Amino acid sequence: MAEKYKVIVNKLELELKKMRSEGRTRLPSEQDLCSEFSCSRQTIRAALDVLLQKGLIVKRRGAGSYIADDSFNNRTVFFMTEDCDRYQSPALISGLKEQLSNSKYELRSFSGCGSVSEESKILSCVIKERPAALIIEPAKDLVPDPNLRLIEEIEDTGIPVIYLNSSLGKIHVASDNYEGGRELTKHVLESGRKKTACIFRIDDSSGRDRYKGYIDALLDADADYDESRCFLMTYKEEKEIISGDDKKFASFIDNNLFGCDSVICQNGMIANRLMLLLRKRGVSVPEDLLVACFNNGNYPNDFGVVNAGCDIDSFCKTLAKSSVALAEGRSAKSVVFPMKI
């Protein structure tokens, strides 16, 4: 367990941010702090010395401790995602930058590439540079993450962490993937397509929840669930499919999509790759096979593809608002956005 003065340091850092946002600059007296934290004056002085060394406070002889004029001046929000150039990331990054700039904050984006070691480097950079807040879009949030200790260290230093499209962490902003999967599947079934296949990620919560919604929609409609029609992929396999290294994916199309009249995809990139391979096989979309996908990014509703997604502008506004609120010591709540078709 951390020594008590370290715990007090972390709590005071959060309180200092709140004080600054409210226009208060003078800290409570040492005696008041002793009462608040139920500790000795020696412990409080040790905590204040740490804040002094970090440049967060200044001590004025005979007047007490005050927030330093140049403290908490880092107005940069860090964003760590799988790949800044894939799927919804370009649109999300652009919208988030615009919304943060309205509050005079800026955004720095980092690609973790689904690699534990790359994410570790980014998180170490966060600890060193101490941004105003950190947004994390985990690549594989259903598998054990060796970097959790680094994330805990970041939170212990008072840097707020917001999870994107994952229910991990105290605060998260995400799409309602379960209901989205259920409603998109229901929509496909109601269009007259009864033999539906699916392609989902199985190592992240978005794919898992969409898959669960897909299954429940089939059961609700008394439609057949056929496991052989379900292509469940990992992050690595998804990346291979998108890059064109898709022998396993091609085999699924040739051997498992025969007889299907529709398929629901994890995202627009997978849908685009699927349609390319279907065209090479003389399959017409949507006449022969209806393609549906979850699409919040730069992939337009082409070739009769059915899209489900949340409003990207509202999503970015909420994410920026939460980031700024936490960076300035105010509270924020987790938000889950409904998907629309």
Q: Judge if 273 and 328 occupy the same domain.
A: no
> Rounded to an integer, what distance in angstroms lies between the CA atom of residue 287 and that of residue 264?
15
Q: How confident is the model at residue 73 (pLDDT cuts 50, 70, 90)?
A: low
Which of 167 and 107 is assigned the larger pLDDT? 107
pLDDT average, residue stretch 204-212: 95
Q: Which residues are CB-contacts of 324 (< 8 A; sequence separation ≥ 6)?
A: 100, 103, 105, 132, 133
Which pLDDT score is estimated for 39? Answer: 93
Q: Judge if 28 and 123 occupy the same domain.
A: no
Q: Which of 19-28, 88-97, 225-234 has the lowest mean pLDDT?
A: 19-28
First to last CA, the chain: 49
The model carries a pTM of: 0.80
Q: Judge if 279 and 131 occupy the same domain.
A: no
Domain finish residue from 17, 43, 67? 67
Parallel, antiparallel or unpaired: strands 57-60 and 64-67: antiparallel
Q: Judge if 238 and 271 occupy the same domain.
A: yes
Which pLDDT score is estimated for 25? Answer: 84
Which of 141 and 226 is assigned the larger pLDDT? 226
Q: Judge if 256 and 188 occupy the same domain.
A: yes
Q: Judge if 97 and 119 occupy the same domain.
A: yes
pLDDT average, residue stretch 65-91: 80
Choose among 311, 323, 330, 327: nearest CA to 135.
323
Q: Judge if 166 and 259 occupy the same domain.
A: no
Number of domains within the chain: 3
For position 231, which CATH number holds? Answer: 3.40.50.2300
For position 61, which CATH number holds? Answer: 1.10.10.10
Q: Which amino acid is at 263?
A: V
Q: Judge if 207 and 304 occupy the same domain.
A: yes
Query: Is pLDDT at 135 greater than 90 in this prediction?
Result: yes
Query: Is pLDDT at 62 greater than 90 in this prediction?
Result: no
Summary count for the chain: helices (H), strands (E): 12, 13
Query: Is pLDDT at 302 greater than 70 in this prediction?
Result: no
Q: Judge if 60 and 86 occupy the same domain.
A: no
Q: Judge if 80 and 137 occupy the same domain.
A: yes
Q: Judge if 321 and 289 occupy the same domain.
A: no
Which pLDDT score is estimated for 82? Answer: 82
Query: Is pLDDT at 100 greater than 90 in this prediction?
Result: yes
Cα–Cα distances in Å, from 49 out to 33, 114, 158, 320? 14, 40, 17, 33
| CA contacts within 13 A on the Cβ side of 2 | 14
Domain of 170 in residue numbering reads as: 76-175+313-337
Residue with tokens 């790759």: 273
Q: Judge if 181 and 270 occupy the same domain.
A: yes
Choose among 198, 289, 276: nearest CA to 242.
276
